[in-house]
């Protein structure tokens, strides 16, 4: 296909503003998929994504569109994930296309993820076509939203396309705008092959599938290619385009987007952002500026039933086949036995993976407190990455500790602004900016990531009745007065409850933890002290009083069946308990205790 007849684009939007519905309409209207094969949300492959309405893996579809000018165009849509945890996936797919449709729900207006995503598009030098969706709804205010787009984002919205992705209204205008307003890709067909690795995933039938965008040159089936970052070479077995199901194609030229398989063993062998070239006749220099997506949030995953350890190992390996950004390492905990220390791109990523492990693999899991990665600077000058508070080195060897900081952008209706500022302040935030866009405020905070990983998002939603939107970016590592807080139950440290906290917050958090645990741990036949400590020093303490009699005692030995029933109940409950020394702690206690209000 000639370059002038290609348009590559992505759709950027806040979650629920209609990105998937619009993609479906574009596919449907151009007859890319036969009517009878049309499923809702074609591009959201996994069930769990569909349920939660999020798209995790960037996907792509090639659409043929006969335009009003009489020419037929190839439109390549790359669908990008909309959520903060996957910001890196957004940025990489942005590099592979020349333009974006900015979809804004005309009843809602610009939200935090709209901003985060559109700035990525602007950074990638995209031409941007604003699209106002949901104009079928009576609450739609296209004029106000246009103004807002101009005020807040600073792009011309006078020619925004007004549509209803639901009814199909305005979709032909979107197709014309793509052809007329987005630029054609540039590239040199005579130059050596240069292609960008946009994405890769594991397909149970085909193995590792790699999505590429060709910049220069041509790639054909059977070619011997080389990944410039890893140095590995492969022979292309199968070359296809996604419509969105795979359709084989003999070659791909400049500006084109497609997928290939090449007997690659693991998704890990494919580095997103890597440059692909011909082994024998390579291009002069790789593409600039790509970073690997690295996990930023870690937690331990342990099977409730120790016999499930092997099943958990298998399940984790299976999920990793398809997700190179999810890392794991075996871990043993005195309290929880054998499990895995796992790394995630963010909290949502963590939740999605845990959910899949529990649902698809039928596992009961204990999740320990999520923790960020700290940089521990030792007195001897070395620096250690601390993934697990339980591994904190002895303080006498530690010089100082750095923690990751983020820049958070929050959009919130005026009336909740006070609560949001208080929440950010409570989480050690530093206000960077506060501006107004109509009746809504936009606040920018510098926050420790560690204060956000617990339940910041939940708290934000609850103090604003769901009206706030939030997005964040990692900024830097910075030193602060951080300490490891241990929890001791009946004088035994429970490593799964250890956490890094700011020294100034330690007492408050320690007290809250002890109070919560006192409610969560059932009473035993003896008195149980619950303590929070830093180093050897106890900073908070609660005591759980002793139970007088055992459960069956009140049956007076008379009713044998009732006694049996009670014991059975006790046994079932015990399965969900963990033994710590002489004390049993229910698994809910771990999760609940770590949620701070
Ligand atoms: P995404 O999260 O941006 O992919 O949003 P979806 O495409 O999943 O849409 C979110 C919700 O909005 C779904 O319930 C859609 O049915 C609904 N929706 C999408 N477009 C429209 C529209 O034009 N009008 C109306 N009324 N609802 C829409
Ligand atoms: Mg979607």
pLDDT tens for 155-203 read 999 999 999 999 999 999 999 999 999 999 999 999 999 999 988 888 7
Question: Is any ligand 1 atom within 6 A of the Cβ of residue 18?
Answer: yes
Question: Is any ligand 1 atom within 6 A of the Cβ of residue 12?
Answer: no
Band of pLDDT at residue 41, cut at 50, 70 and 90: low
Q: Model confidence over 345-354: pLDDT tens digits?
A: 877 788 888 8
Rounded distance from Cα 100 to ligand 1 centre (Å): 18
Return the higher-pLDDT residue of 196 and 437: 196
Question: Of the residues 11, 16, 24, 26, which should be mutated to test ligand 1's pocket, given the most ligand atoms within 8 Å of the CB?
Answer: 16
Q: What is the pLDDT of residue 552?
A: 53
Question: Is any ligand 1 atom within 6 A of the Cβ of residue 19?
Answer: yes
Give the separation between CA 145 and CA 538, rounded to whole angstroms.
55
Rounded distance from Cα 341 to ligand 2 centre (Å): 30
Rounded distance from Cα 172 to ligand 2 centre (Å): 21
Q: What is the pLDDT of residue 405?
A: 93
Tell me 156's DSSP state: -
80 is in an annotated binding site: no
Question: Is any ligand 1 atom within 6 A of the Cβ of residue 13?
Answer: yes
Q: What is the pLDDT of residue 591?
A: 60
Ligand 1, atom 2, lies closest to the CA of 16
Q: Which atom of ligand 1 is nearest to the CA of 103?
A: 3
Ligand 1, atom 18, lies closest to the CA of 18
Q: Which atom of ligand 1 is nearest to the CA of 15?
A: 2
Kind plus residue range of the DSSP H or E element containing 593: helix 587-594
Pair of tokens at residue 461 = 């939603």
Q: What integer is the mean pLDDT of 401-427?
A: 92
Question: Is any ligand 1 atom within 6 A of the Cβ of residue 401?
Answer: no
Give percent above pLDDT 70 in the chain: 85
Q: How many other CB atoms sit within 10 Å of the CB of residue 237?
A: 14
Q: Using DSSP bridges, classify how beta strands 6-13 and 72-79 pair: parallel, antiparallel or unpaired.
A: parallel
Q: Is the pLDDT of residue 289 over 70?
A: no
Question: In sequence order, what DSSP letters do the residues of 389-412 get, joined into one string?
Answer: GGGPPPGGGEEEEEEEEEEEEEEE
Q: How many CA atoms lie within 13 A of 39 on its CB side?
A: 10
Question: Is any ligand 1 atom within 6 A of the Cβ of residue 21?
Answer: yes
Q: Is the pLDDT of residue 577 over 70?
A: no
Pair of tokens at residue 375 = 């940089």
Q: What integer is the mean pLDDT of 59-88?
A: 81
Give the separation between CA 16 and CA 134, rounded to whole angstroms.
11
**Ligand located closest to 22 CA:** 1
Mean pLDDT over the full length of the chain: 85
Q: What value of ipTM does the predicted structure carry?
A: 0.99
Give yes or no for a contact between 176 and 75, defined as CB atoms under 8 angstroms apart.
no
Q: Omega of the bond prior to 24 within 30 degrees of 0, cis?
A: no
Ligand 1, atom 17, lies closest to the CA of 18
Give yes or no for a contact between 184 and 7, defined as CB atoms under 8 angstroms apart.
yes
Give yes or no for a contact between 132 and 101, defined as CB atoms under 8 angstroms apart.
no
Pair of tokens at residue 34 = 């036969």
Q: What is the pLDDT of residue 49?
A: 43
Q: Model confidence over 310-327: pLDDT tens digits?
A: 999 999 988 887 677 788
């Amino acid at each position: 296909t000639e370059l002038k007849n290609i348009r590559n684009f992505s759709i950027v939007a806040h979650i629920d503003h209609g990105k998937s519905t619009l993609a479906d309409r574009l596919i449907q209207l151009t007859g890319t998929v036969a009517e009878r094969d049309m499923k809702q949300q074609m591009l959201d492959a996994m069930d769990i994504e569909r349920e939660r309405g999020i798209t995790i893996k960037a996907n792509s579809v090639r659409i043929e569109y006969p335009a009003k000018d009489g020419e037929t165009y190839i439109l390549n849509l790359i669908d990008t994930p909309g959520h903060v945890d996957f910001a890196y996936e957004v940025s990489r797919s942005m590099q592979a296309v020349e333009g974006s449709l900015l979809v804004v729900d005309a009843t809602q207006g610009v939200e935090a993820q709209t901003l985060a995503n559109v700035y990525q598009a602007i950074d990638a030098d995209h031409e941007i076509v604003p699209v106002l969706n949901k104009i079928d709804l009576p609450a739609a205010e296209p004029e106000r939203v246009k103004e807002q787009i101009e005020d807040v984002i600073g792009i011309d919205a006078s020619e925004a396309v007004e549509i209803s992705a639901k009814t199909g209204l305005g979709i032909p205008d979107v197709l014309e705008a793509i052809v007329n307003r987005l630029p054609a890709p540039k590239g040199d067909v005579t130059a050596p092959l240069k292609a960008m690795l946009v994405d890769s995933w594991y397909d149970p039938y085909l193995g590792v599938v790699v999505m590429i965008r060709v910049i220069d040159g041509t790639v054909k089936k059977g070619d011997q290619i080389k990944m410039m970052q890893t140095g590995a070479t492969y022979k292309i077995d199968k070359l296809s385009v996604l419509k969105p199901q795979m359709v084989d194609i003999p070659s791909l030229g400049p500006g084109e987007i497609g997928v290939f398989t090449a007997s690659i063993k693991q998704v890990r062998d494919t580095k997103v952002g890597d440059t692909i070239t011909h082994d024998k006749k390579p291009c002069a220099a790789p593409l600039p500026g790509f970073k690997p997506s690295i996990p930023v949030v870690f937690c331990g995953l342990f099977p409730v039933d120790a016999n499930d350890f092997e099943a958990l190992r298998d399940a984790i390996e299976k999920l990793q086949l398809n997700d190179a950004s999810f890392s794991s390492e075996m871990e043993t905990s005195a309290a929880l036995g054998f499990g895995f220390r796992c790394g995630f791109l963010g909290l949502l990523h963590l939740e999605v993976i845990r959910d899949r492990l529990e649902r698809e693999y039928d596992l009961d899991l204990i999740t320990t407190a999520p923790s960020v990665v700290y940089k521990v600077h030792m007195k001897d000058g070395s620096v250690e990455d601390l993934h697990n508070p339980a591994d904190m080195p002895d303080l006498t060897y530690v010089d100082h500790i750095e923690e990751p900081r983020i820049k958070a952008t929050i959009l919130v209706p005026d009336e909740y602004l006070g609560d949001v500022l208080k929440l950010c302040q409570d989480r050690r935030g530093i206000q960077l900016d506060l501006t107004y866009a109509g009746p809504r405020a936009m606040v920018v905070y510098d926050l420790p990531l560690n204060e956000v990983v617990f339940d910041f998002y939940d708290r934000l939603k609850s103090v604003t009745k769901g009206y706030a939107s939030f997005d964040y970016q990692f900024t830097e590592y910075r030193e602060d007065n951080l300490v490891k807080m241990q929890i001791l139950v009946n004088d035994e440290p429970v490593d799964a409850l250890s956490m890094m906290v700011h020294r100034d917050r330690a007492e408050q958090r320690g007290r809250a933890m002890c109070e919560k645990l006192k409610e969560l741990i059932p009473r035993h036949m003896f008195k149980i002290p619950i303590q929070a400590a830093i180093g050897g020093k106890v900073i908070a303490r609660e005591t759980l009083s002793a139970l007088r009699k055992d459960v069956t005692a009140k049956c007076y030995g008379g009713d044998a069946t009732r006694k049996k029933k009670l014991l059975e109940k006790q046994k079932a409950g015990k399965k969900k308990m963990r033994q710590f020394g002489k004390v049993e702690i229910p698994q809910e206690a771990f999760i609940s205790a770590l949620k701070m209000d």
